[in-house]
Structures are given as C-alpha cells and as structure tokens.
Amino acid sequence: MKVHNTLATQTTRRIFATGAISVAAALALSACGGSASTAPTSEAAKPDLKAAGAGVITMWVDAERSPALKDITEKFKSDTGIEVKLVVKDFAAVRDDFITQVPTGQGPDLIVGPHDWIGKFVQNGVIAPVELGDKAGQFQDSSIKAMTYNGAVYGVPYAIENIALLRNTSIVDSKASTLDEVVANGKKAVAEGKATFPFLVGMDPKQGDPYHLYPLQSSMGSQVFGKNADGGYDAKQLLIGDAAGVEFAKKLAAWGDAGEKIINSNITGDIAKEKFIAGESPYFLTGPWNVPDVQKKGIKFAVDELPTAGGEPAQPFIGVNGFFISAKSANALATNEFVTNYLTSESAQDSMYTAGGRPPALKASFEKAASDPVVAAFGKIGSTGVPMPAIPEMSAVWADWGATELAIIKGQGDPAEAWTKMADSIKSKIGG
C-alpha cells in the first residue's frame, strides 16, 4: 500500500492527457481540454484531487430542488475544494435512469428522491447504506424509520410529506373527528345549498388512489404488510386480505358511486382541487402540495386531523424525501462527508424547505418551519403516520390495489369477493 498524493498510474495518464490536449488544441478544439488541464501544484500540500478522480461529486436532482442546494454545495467547495455538480434530471425518469446507469459506472454519486425507491435500489444493488451515528437523533423519528430498510439506514432525509383533511371553514366551522361526522357535516352543507359535494378526494380514472384512501383503511384496522422483528415491513406477512380489509372493501362500496357518493370515481385529482378551490365542498382529502393554490384563491381553510372510519387512528402513509449514495460511487468518501456532515446541517435543511415547502425532517428546521400553522398541522398528522412500504413487493400491490378499489367504488361486483381476489392475486405475484 502506497500513500498517493497523486496516484502513480494517474501521472502517466495525465501526461498523456496533457499531450493529447495540446494536440487537440492544435486542431482548434482547445475548448474541450479545460477539464484535464491541471496546474502543477505543490504535491505534498495540495494533493491533486482531480487526478484521483475525486474532484467532483455528481448529484442528480430535479429542477425544483436544484436551486436550494446551491448554498450548501458552495460551502462544501470552499471548505474542501470538492465541487458538487448538480445535474438537473426529469423527476419522472430519474429512478429508472439511476438503476440502469449505476452499474455502468456512469451514474451519479448522489441522487435525491422519496424513500420508497429504496427497496428497488437495494434489489438492483445500486445504493449504499449511510451511517448517521448520533445525528440520527436530530431527525424526526418517522423520517429515520422510513429511511431504514433491512435494519440499515439508506438515506439522509430532508422532508416529510403526508396528507390531511382540508376543511373550508366558511362552510363548516367546527372540527370533526370521525368520518361519519364529516359526512354528516358535508351532507348538511349540501342540503343547505352551501356546497355541491359533501366530500372530495381525487381518484385516478385508471388506477384509483389507494394512497389517499389508506388513512380510512388503516382506521378500520386494515394494513398492507405486517412488520418483522426489526420494525421493517415483511413481504411474507401480507395482511391486506384479512377480515378488516374486507370490511373496508364493503364500506368502500357503500361510500362509492352506487352508494352515498362520498367517493366519486369520476372526480380526478384535478377536478377535486378545482371544486374545492371554487368553494363547492367543505372537505378535501389532500396533501400540502395543493395548499398554495387553495391559499392563492383566498379560501379560508383549516388543516384537520384525518377522520377515523372504524374507530382506530387514521394513519396516513408518510413519504420521506432524502439523499441516496450510489453503491458504485468512485468518490464515496467525499460523498459521505458531504451527505452526513453538510446535508444534515440546519442551514441546508432550511433552504430545502424554503425552496420546496415540504416540512423538514431535521427537528431544528421543522420547529422553525412550524411557525406556519399549516406546516405544523401537517407535521403533527404525519407523526401519527406510517412510512409508505419501500419493499419491492409493494410495486406488485399498487396496481391491483388501485384497480380493485376503483372497481369497488364504481359498484362493480361484490366488494368482499373482489377484495379477496385482489389479495390472492397480490400474494401469487409476490410468491412467484
């Protein structure tokens, strides 16, 4: 083992590169040579990071988060001399691109995304665990829990998201704790002509929306997966088809198109938002992402706790956004330094909040953000939530779950039968 200030093998290559660049320059292409032209430095004092391939950390972000990271990356560069290159990618494609590109060695060192990508990332062997040590205690418990997979933490969280019940206070002025009361209030408002819809929740016309309906389901005691000893979801314990789940299915049919029409399969997320903003409904089951538009329209609203349908607490799924390190990062040490010691800082988490508006995962930053009552209310509801399952088996659940709920809401077939069939289908996919 030799201590490299500049790696020996790199030196010859660098000489070659320099020669190559001068040839290239002679060929009127000097512009291409910039990255490799390294000035000779006092080797012992300032090792050549670029020659060791360590000069740059590449990070994939989406357009919204990119500006928020500018300050912290500049601080990192002035402290360590290492540049963090932010590559803006389309959010819809970034997960699959990461999975395909990491094995080729061309992937980034870092990526930003929601925690439920972890299962797929681990399955494909593309991310490395991150050890936060004592810093884990500075984050909200739920966020660390969400980032934990198979007993190890895989990402540094920065934001927590969950849904809540928005109430138009000029239509219904008091808070209700059960769904029955909510529905009664809503119906009363409709009867009095103050509203057109008693209750709003967006449904995808093709996939339904099990994510938004999950608090109602969990309040009836139905869960998707059981948990194993270390607190993670266990794919072998598929609980969705149990008696509580079937009860939920029956209720769903009763709330659906053929029943009370509380949940309407033809109301998409966009239609639901439009109707709430137009003041046509007292209630809207949604997340913080729709709040700015509601505020813009001047609707007076309150963020209510999720109503229970079956007596048990209505637990929403929480989604945690965070940073993940590539398993094949050539610059793993510097990346770890940046992730565990810079991105966990209060100022970094503050600026991510300012840019994205998602409640911060770091306790200190959250307390500051919680001066906004909306953030505080969403955060309080989130603390009762459960992490969205990140295990890869979950992807087999979503499609069946959504389609079955949609069919039940539309009143197609017997709800109990459809629900059991769905559970069997999911089971066979996970097993096979």
Partner 1 sequence: MPKPDLRELPAPGGQPTPVEPSGTGARSGGTTRTNGTLRPAKPIRHPDSLKGTILKVVLLGLVDAFAVYVLMMLFLSQSWAALAVSALVVLAINWIYLRKGGLPAKYLAPGVLFLLVFQVLVVVFSGYIAFTNYGDGHNSTKEDAISAIQLTAQKRVPDSPAYKAAVLTKGNDFYMLFTDPAGKAQVGSTEQPLTDAPDAGKDSTGKANSLPGYQTLKFQEIVANQQEILKITVPVSADPADGTLRTADGSTAYQFKPALNYDAATDTFTDTDTGTEYRDNGKGAFADSKGETLATGWKIDVGMDNFVRAFTDPSLRGPLLGVILWTFTFSIASVALTFVMGLFLATTFNREDLRGKKAYRILMILPYAFPAFLSGLVWSGILNPEFGWLNQTLLGGANIGWLTDPVLAKISVLVVNVWLGFPYMFLVCTGALQSLPSEIDEAARMDGASAWRVFRSIKLPLLLVSVAPLLISSFAFNFNNFNVIYMLTGGGPRFADTDRDIGSTDILITLVYKVAFGQGTGRDYGLASALAIIIFIIVATISAISFKQTKALEDVN
* Token pair recorded at residue 190: 């409709």
Q: How far is the CB of 75 from partner 1 (least distance, A)?
A: 14
Counting Cα atoms < 13 Å in the Cβ hemisphere of 292 gives 4
Nearer to partner 1, 205 or 373 (CB): 205
Q: How far is the CB of 168 from partner 1 (least distance, A)?
A: 20
CB burial of 190-206 (b: ≥16 within 10 Å; e: otherwise) equals: beeebbebbbbbbbeee
Placement of tokens 């009095």 in the chain: 192
What is the spatial distance between Cα 290 and Cα 277, in angstroms, rounded to a whole number? Answer: 10
Nearer to partner 1, 131 or 173 (CB): 131
**Residue of 262, 284, 260 lying closest to 272 (CA atoms):** 284
Q: Which residues, other chains included, contact 100 with Cβ-Cβ below 8 Å and sequence gap of 6+?
A: none
For residue 360, what is the DSSP state? B
Q: How far is the CB of 111 from partner 1 (least distance, A)?
A: 15
Nearer to partner 1, 304 or 405 (CB): 405
358 C-beta neighbours (distance < 10 Å), count:
22
Counting Cα atoms < 13 Å in the Cβ hemisphere of 46 gives 10
Nearer to partner 1, 146 or 176 (CB): 146
Nearer to partner 1, 125 or 373 (CB): 125
Q: How far is the CB of 28 from partner 1 (least distance, A)?
A: 6
For residue 40, what is the DSSP state? P
Counting Cα atoms < 13 Å in the Cβ hemisphere of 8 gives 3
Q: How far is the CB of 72 from partner 1 (least distance, A)?
A: 16
Nearer to partner 1, 47 or 307 (CB): 47
Neighbouring-strand partners of residue 238: 225
Burial of residue 44, with CB atoms counted within 10 A of its CB: 0-12 exposed, 13-18 middle, 19 or more buried? exposed
Q: How far is the CB of 332 from partner 1 (least distance, A)?
A: 6
Nearer to partner 1, 9 or 170 (CB): 9
**Residue of 237, 406, 409, 225 lying closest to 317 (CA atoms):** 225
Cα angle, residue 48 at apex, residues 45 and 53 outer, rounded to 5°: 150
Q: How far is the CB of 38 from partner 1 (least distance, A)?
A: 13
Q: Return the CA Rg of the chain.
A: 25
* Token pair recorded at residue 189: 């408002």
Q: How far is the CB of 253 from partner 1 (least distance, A)?
A: 16
Q: How far is the CB of 354 from partner 1 (least distance, A)?
A: 27
Nearer to partner 1, 237 or 266 (CB): 266
Nearer to partner 1, 270 or 371 (CB): 270
